[in-house]
Amino acid sequence: MRAGGDLSTKMDGCQRQNFTAFYEAQLDGKAYTGLLDLKPGDDFEIKLGKKQIRLIPVGAADEEE
């Protein structure tokens, strides 16, 4: 959670874990990999753009190239 930024700081300076934000991000990622029909163990490339992150299954054509 810390690496993903799903923490907030309370007024007393203590950090609080935002479980809802963490689990929502996990569900969003699962939905995206489901759209690509990725299964555990499948290989894919991560392409970083200015405003996006794209997962491209290995062997699939990259539409932007």
pLDDT of residue 12: 92
- The pLDDT tens digits for 2-38 are 666 677 888 898 888 888 877 877 777 777 778 778 7
- The pLDDT tens digits for 43-56 are 888 888 888 888 88
H-helix or E-strand spanning residue 46: strand 44-48
pLDDT of residue 3: 61
pLDDT of residue 39: 82
Of 41, 39, 38, residue with least CA distance to 56: 38
Write down the number of H helices and E strands in the chain. 1, 4
What is the Cα–Cα distance from 20 to 27, expressed in whole angstroms? 11
Of 15, 38, 37, 28, residue with least CA distance to 6: 15
CA 31 to chain centre: 10
pLDDT of residue 42: 87
